[in-house]
Amino acid sequence: MRTTFAVSFAAVTAAVTVLVGVLSYSAAARLVRVDQETVFAQAVQDLRAEVRQQRMTPGDFLSAAPGHDIVRPARTYVQVLGAGGEVSDGAGRRLPVTGADRRIAASVAPGRLVRHQDVGVGADVYRIATVSLGGGRGAVQVAQEFSGTEDLLRALQRRTLVLMAAVVTAAGLFGWWLAHRITRRLVALTSAAEDVARTRRLGIQVPVTGHDEVGRLGRAFDRMLGRLAQSEDDQRRLVQDAGHELRTPLTSLRTNISLLRRIDEFPPATREELVADLGQEARELTDLVNELVDLAAGQSDSEPPQRVDLADLADDVAAAARRRTGREIAVRAGGDTAAECRPAMLARALSNLVENAAKFDPDGAAPIEVAVTGPALRGTPGPAGIVRVEVRDRGPGIADGDLTRVFDRFYRAAEARSRSGSGLGLSIVREVALAHGGAPFAFRREGGGSVIGFTVGRG
């Protein structure tokens, strides 16, 4: 990219410089040539007018004659010819005399003209005009040297080419320096990405500077690596915790299966107890695997978000829980309970809370309450857009020391360890809440029981 940028910068500069140089040189050369031709044409015109207005002889144009300078502008030379075409007075350098010039010198009509272009005299080139004096008295030759002008223009051309080459070289060097400054941060980001690909370490330091597009790219790359590192840590911790929790039921299941080989040796009551234990362990193992799958799915944000009324979602979850548990579940809603969310994930989290309440208060007479509250009005300033979901029960409650840990994976309070469950239900609630910009919460309920829930929205 650096080379491409430098070459492109130099190429554009070269094109512009060549165009400007060619146009400038052409305009300057044209002005110089036209100016010289105008001076020469004016001198010839003045000479013809002079000889037509009065009778003049070759002596009038001798070098020492008065008025001689009238036909001698800058870089213009005069040579006087006699009646036979012989040179009477030279121009300091011998100009060639042709047959046409001799005929003009012998002409009786004054002001007759013959022109000669590109006449070489030694190393110089001239344009020559011969004007008759009339009456066979001779002629005057006016010559203008333009080879010197062409030499000057060629020198200007060479200097223009040298200047153009210098400008293009300077532009290329400047483009290389500018490209280096622009791409050095991209090179640093590329090195960081290559280090990640080579070492598979996501916690590397990403250089982030500036507030332009490259700076934004660096910050986005750094945030992406942070999220990937967090996801990798979550997966590793999930696998470790799952392996630890699966080890106990699998060991128990393997022990009971080994006892099946001697089942004929056991009395009928022991056989029934063994089969019942196997069924219970299989169900607990199935529940644990299902909750692990739910937890992994709760960490995924592949479900497209949509506008959902959480009060309606709570009604659906409560209806399903009534059929499964037979418990009375009351749903209360207030305010604007609609939010942008992933409904399947929220339904899973809310279902976990309701089933958890039913499990820890199996014989309760009071209904399980589900409260969904949102801001009073749409667009209300302050905490607008935050919806709060609470599940209230009248069970044994949660000890103060366990309130801060109930959402940890596989954590089970001391009084809950005798009950069935894996300790993953509330972990799923936490993952879902965090995925929706909210947070889980739990506290003891006045009069006994617990209040466990989560928020949805920013704030």
Which residue shows structure tokens 């799923």? Answer: 428
Mean pLDDT value across residues 243-250: 67
Spatial separation of the C-alpha atoms in residues 294 and 287, rounded to whole Å: 10
Asked which of 42-51, 58-67, 103-112, 128-137 is least confident by mean pLDDT, the reply is 58-67
- Predicted confidence (pLDDT) at residue 412 exceeds the cutoff of 70: no
**Reported confidence tier of residue 315, pLDDT bands at 50, 70, 90:** very high
- Predicted confidence (pLDDT) at residue 404 exceeds the cutoff of 60: yes
* Mean of pLDDT over the chain: 78
Mean pLDDT value across residues 176-186: 78
Residue 459 CB burial class (10 angstroms; 0-12, 13-18, ≥19): exposed
Share of the chain above pLDDT 90, in %: 7
Instruction: List, for residues 252-303, the tens digit of each pLDDT value.
Output: 778 878 887 787 788 888 878 878 888 877 876 776 677 667 656 655 556 6
Report angle CA 310, 298, 216 to the nearest 5 degrees.
Answer: 95
Spatial separation of the C-alpha atoms in residues 385 and 438, rounded to whole Å: 11
Which residue shows structure tokens 């209904």? Answer: 367
- Predicted confidence (pLDDT) at residue 159 exceeds the cutoff of 60: yes
The reported pLDDT for the residue numbered 418 is: 47
Note whether 353 and 452 are within 8 A (CB).
yes
Looking at residue 83, its amino acid is A
Mean pLDDT value across residues 58-75: 60
Share of the chain above pLDDT 70, in %: 83
Mean pLDDT value across residues 312-339: 88
- Predicted confidence (pLDDT) at residue 73 exceeds the cutoff of 60: no
260 or 208, which is more confident?
A: 260
- Predicted confidence (pLDDT) at residue 174 exceeds the cutoff of 70: yes
Note whether 374 and 363 are within 8 A (CB).
no
Domain spans in the chain, listed from the N-terminal domain onward: 2-152, 201-299, 303-456
- Predicted confidence (pLDDT) at residue 112 exceeds the cutoff of 70: yes
- Predicted confidence (pLDDT) at residue 79 exceeds the cutoff of 60: yes
Alpha-helix residue ranges (DSSP H) falling in 261-371: 268-298, 310-325, 343-360
- Predicted confidence (pLDDT) at residue 24 exceeds the cutoff of 90: no
Among left, alpha and beta (phi > 0; psi -120 to 50; other), residue 194 is: alpha
CATH 3.40.50.720, applies to 201-299: no
Looking at residue 117, its amino acid is Q
- Predicted confidence (pLDDT) at residue 44 exceeds the cutoff of 70: yes
**Reported confidence tier of residue 241, pLDDT bands at 50, 70, 90:** low
Instruction: List, for residues 331-354, the tens digit of each pLDDT value.
Output: 999 988 988 888 888 888 888 888
Spatial separation of the C-alpha atoms in residues 165 and 23, rounded to whole Å: 16
Q: Let me know if the fold of 201-299 is the same as that of 303-456.
A: no
- Domain 303-456's class? alpha beta
C-alpha distances out from residue 213 to 186, 207, 210, 229, 372, Å:
11, 14, 8, 24, 43
The reported pLDDT for the residue numbered 414 is: 46
b/e 334-356 (16+ beta carbons within 10 angstroms → b):
ebbbbbebbbebbbbbbbbbbbb
Q: What is the pTM of this model?
A: 0.45
Mean pLDDT value across residues 23-48: 82
Instruction: List, for residues 443-457, the tens digit of each pLDDT value.
Output: 988 888 889 999 998
